[in-house]
Amino acid sequence: MTSGAPEAAAVASGPGPLRPGDRVVVVSPAGPCPAELLDAGTAWLRKWGLDVRVDPHALDTHPTLDYLAGTDADRARAFEQAWLDPSVAAVLAARGGYGSLRMVDLVDWTAVAAHRKVFVGSSDTTVLHERFWAHGLPTWFGPMVGTRAFVEDAEARERLRAALFTGVTAYRGVGMVGGVARGVAVGGNLSLLTAPPPPGAVVLLEDVNEEPYRLDRMLTGLLRTGWFDRVAGLVLGSWTGCGDPAAVLADRLGGLGVPIVADVRFGHCAGQLTVPLGVPVEIDGDTGTVTVQG
C-alpha cells in the first residue's frame, strides 16, 4: 500500500545539522536529573566541540512533588527561553521521567514555531515532540544527555552525535506487514501519545516496562477512537521490559492494512538509534527499511 504526502504542515527538512561551536542549552522539562549524570553528559557535548549551557533550573526538584524537576511554570519558562534565545542552536532534554504533560500547555507554541532549531528528547518528551510536529518543526527522538542511556552507552551516544552533525538517511528493522508507504514520521512513547497523527503519517511507536496486556489496553483505546484510521504505515521500536509483545502488536496492529516495520532499535534499548520526527520518510514493510526523505 502506498500513501501520498500527509495534509499536515509537518512536512519539513530534517533538524540541524549542528556544527562545532554551536551553542546548546540543556533543560529539564520532566523529571529531576542527577547532577553527576548531567555533568558527565555535558562533558561529552563539550568534547564534541559544542558550547554547552545548562539552564539554571535544570537540577531543580518540585517543592512537594519530588518526581518533577521544579515547578511546571519554571520548566515551561526554561524551555521557552532557551528556544527563543537567538544565540542557541539546539535545546536538549536532560532526561524524561514524567512532567512534560504538565508544562506543555504553558509554553507559547506560536512563538516557538517561529524559530527553527534542533530539539532532542525521548520517552516523556513525546508530549513535546507532538507539539513540534503539529507546528511543522522536525525533531530528534534519541538519548538524553543526563541519563545512563547517553553517558554509559557509547553506541547510542555515537549515534546521537552522528545524527546531530551529519543527519540520518535510513535505518532498518524487520518487515512485519508488506508494502511501501510514505508520510511524515510522528509518534514516540505509546503511553504518552495524546494528539491524533496527521492524515497520511508514518507513526513510530515504542514503550518500556509495560506488560503485554497493558499495551493491548493502550492500543485498543487508540483503535476505538479512530487514532490509526488514516495512518500510512507504522514503525515499531523497542519494548524493553514489556515481556514478549509480538503477539499483541500483531493482533492489534496487523489488521490495519498498512505497511509495518518492526524491531527497529529506537526507544528504551541498548545502542538506541536517534531517529528524526516531523520529516517525510518512506517505509518498506517487505525489506524492513525506513528511508528519510527530508
Q: Active-site residue numbers?
A: 123, 206, 268
Of 52, 49, 48, 116, whose CA–CA distance to 86 is shortest? 116
Cα 100 from chain centroid (whole Å): 13
Cell reading at 28: 529539564
What is the spatial distance between Cα 51 and Cα 30, in angstroms, rounded to a whole number?
23
Q: What are phi and psi of 118, to 5 degrees?
A: -100, 135
β-bridge partners, 177: 260
What is the spatial distance between Cα 285 and Cα 271, in angstroms, rounded to a whole number?
23
Cβ atoms of 240 and 43 within 8 Å: the answer is: no
Residue 49, phi-psi category: left (phi > 0), alpha (psi -120 to 50), beta (remainder): left
Q: How far apart are the first and last CA of the chain?
A: 21
Q: What are phi and psi of 11, to 5 degrees?
A: -65, 120
C-alpha dihedral, 235 to 241 to 243 to 247, nearest 10° = -10
What is the spatial distance between Cα 113 and Cα 9, in angstroms, rounded to a whole number?
12
